[in-house]
């Protein structure tokens, strides 16, 4: 199973992000959506699970949950906008991957058997940070991720 992960669009859905996500089977949006039409556009590609971020304070995006747990391909993904706001013990909850955003810095790391993934920001550029999304492959051997830098 191929899962696309996007975050921090801040109201800007780049065509390059749509191209990068075109073949995925599910999409996880880790918050700071900024405009609900972004979720509509992503739903044209695949089913979407989205959470709200700190900029999602008004309108439809403010109604998104702050956290979400979703099972895809037999693996458990826990979504929280800022990794500093984790309100569970991912190991005890048998989470396979924690998906976050907020920092705009792409990151893949493993701690105590849990993958922590931040796809970076797919929206407006911040500082010298890349514009990126992530691809997660779920297979018999587990969960693997890679960052995809968008050429914008």
Q: Specify the pLDDT at position 108.
A: 98
Residue (of 122, 152, 120, 137) closest to 23 by Cα position: 137
| Rounded-to-integer distance, Cα 126 and Cα 103, Å | 10
Q: Count how many domains the chain has.
A: 1
Task: Tell me the pLDDT tens digit for each residue of 100-132.
Answer: 999 999 999 999 999 999 999 999 998 899 999
Residue (of 147, 127, 134, 114) closest to 24 by Cα position: 134
Q: Specify the pLDDT at position 74.
A: 95
| Rounded-to-integer distance, Cα 57 and Cα 78, Å | 21
CATH value at residue 101: 3.60.21.10
Q: Specify the pLDDT at position 140.
A: 87
Q: Specify the pLDDT at position 110.
A: 97
Is 0.95 surpassed by the pTM of this model? Answer: yes
End-to-end CA, the chain: 27
The 3-state DSSP class for residue 86 equals coil
For the record, the structure tokens of 123 come out as: 């929206």
User: Residue 67 belongs to what domain range?
Assistant: 2-149
Q: What is the largest CA-CA distance in the chain?
A: 41
For the record, the structure tokens of 75 come out as: 């693996």
Task: Tell me the pLDDT tens digit for each residue of 58-93.
Answer: 999 999 999 999 999 999 999 999 999 999 999 999
Q: Is the dihedral of CA 48, 104, 55, 53 positive or negative?
A: positive
Average pLDDT value for residue range 8-22: 97
């Amino acid at each position: 199973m191929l899962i696309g992960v996007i975050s921090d669009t801040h109201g800007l859905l780049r065509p390059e992000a749509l191209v990068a996500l075109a073949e995925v089977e599910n999409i996880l949006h880790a918050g700071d959506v900024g405009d609900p039409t972004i979720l509509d556009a992503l739903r044209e590609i695949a089913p979407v699970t989205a959470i709200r971020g700190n900029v999602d304070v008004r309108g439809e995006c403010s109604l998104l949950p702050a956290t979400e747990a979703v099972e895809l391909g037999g693996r458990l993904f826990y979504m929280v906008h800022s990794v500093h706001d984790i309100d569970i013990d991912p190991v005890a909850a048998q989470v396979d991957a924690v998906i976050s955003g907020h920092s705009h810095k792409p990151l893949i790391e493993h701690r105590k058997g849990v993958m922590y993934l931040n796809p970076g920001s797919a929206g407006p550029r911040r500082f010298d940070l890349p514009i990126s999304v992530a691809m997660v492959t779920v297979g018999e051997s587990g969960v693997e991720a890679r960052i995809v830098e968008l050429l914008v």
